[in-house]
Amino acid sequence: MRSLLAVLTVVAAIVVLWYAACAPMNIKGVLTELERGGAQVVPEGAPARRDMSAFGLVAGNSFAIPATWAQERPRLPAPHQVVTELWNTTVMKKITSKRSLVYHGWVTLSATLLGFAIGTGLGILLAVGIVHSRVMDMSVMPWAIVSQTIPIIALAPMIIVVLYSVGVQGILPKAIISAYLSFFPVVVGMVKGLRSPDAMQLDLLKTYNANTNQGFWKLRLPASMPYLFASLKIGIAASLVGAIVGELPTGAVAGLGARLLAGSYYGQTVQIWSALFGAAILAGLLVGLLGLIERATLKRMGMS
């Protein structure tokens, strides 16, 4: 109950700040529109207002504040505008419609899930190799780290162009960018998890004359589960980012990334923000779902 109150307080504070920020952000555009409609604003004439501070304009035209929350193409849309747009493009639209955010969300989600599966599989394989082979530890790990220092925004177009030239199109290039971002946390977490059994536990297996295989399945793998889930949660969020970034350079027509791009072409800030929130909600759902699977798995293993 108490924590709910705390959460609500934080949300309320953010909403209040957001509304407050809308006024100075949008005031110039609003005043221009109002003046064109015949209203009395101070000072008169757009050129006179150009160099004035936004806060000064808000102070001098406080009557115009409500209008800053209701523009059609605001610089910063107000919360209720974003919520309305979200509502209209999800619940109120058929999901087959090109304007449905659910449709675009699904396009991005399918690439995200495919990329996440590839990234996780690759990450686990690499981690197993790294833990069992010193050569792999020394040769693969540095490259995995270097791979993550390259900005994905620079790399994504190259990946897409290269794949396109060999005839790979559609969902796969996006999934690969997504996998590129998500394999890394899985590698790091799994390596740590597979190495988490202490010397005593390894010695114990040695006294049973257990082989490497048995050590892996009976000790290392189960011991790594909590680490794996922590990495998967980071990995799935990274996957989503990867899929969205993968949609930008292709000028894709469908997907959350495409909505962001189209929104910025046509100055549809409300659409941009609702796509952003759509992505955030999607990420939240995915992480939450993983959390549920984690709880169920660890509970079944007797570890929680």
Partner 1 sequence: MNNETMNQTAAARDAAQPVVEARGLDLTFQTNDGPVQALKDVNLTIDKGDFVSFIGPSGCGKTTFLRVMAALEQPTGGTITVNGMTPDEARRNRAYGYVFQAAGLYPWRTIAKNIRLPLEIMGYSRARQEERVKDVLQLVDLEGFGEKYPWQLSGGMQQRASIARALAFDADILLMDEPFGALDEIVRDHLNEQLLQLWARTNKTIGFVTHSIPEAVYLSTRIVVMSPRPGRITDVIESPLPKERPLEIRDTPEFIEIAHRVREGLRAGHSYDD
Binding site for partner 1 (CB under 8 A): 200-201, 203-210, 214, 218-219, 222-223, 225, 301-303
Distances (CA, A) of 152 to 4, 9, 51, 179: 37, 36, 38, 12
Smaller CB separation from partner 1, 190 or 252: 190
Coil, strand or helix at 304 = coil
CB 298 to partner 1: min, Å: 8
CB 172 to partner 1: min, Å: 37
> Do 58 and 24 form a contact (C-beta atoms < 8 A)?
yes
Length reported for the chain: 304
Smaller CB separation from partner 1, 141 or 210: 210
Smaller CB separation from partner 1, 148 or 201: 201
CB 227 to partner 1: min, Å: 13
CA distance 294 to 302: 12
> Do 256 and 247 form a contact (C-beta atoms < 8 A)?
yes
Smaller CB separation from partner 1, 77 or 215: 215
CB 210 to partner 1: min, Å: 5
Smaller CB separation from partner 1, 29 or 222: 222
CB 101 to partner 1: min, Å: 41
CB 192 to partner 1: min, Å: 17
> Do 235 and 287 form a contact (C-beta atoms < 8 A)?
no
CB 207 to partner 1: min, Å: 4
Within 13 A of 298's CA, how many CA atoms are on the CB side? Answer: 16
CA distance 74 to 110: 32
Smaller CB separation from partner 1, 80 or 299: 299
Per residue, the 3-state secondary structure of 17-34, as one string, reads HHHHHHHHHHHHHHHHHH
Task: Take residue 276 and report the two structure tokens written for it.
Answer: 């952003």
Smaller CB separation from partner 1, 165 or 211: 211
DSSP for 100-134 reads -HHHHHHHHHHHHHHHHHHHHHHHHHHHHHHHH-H
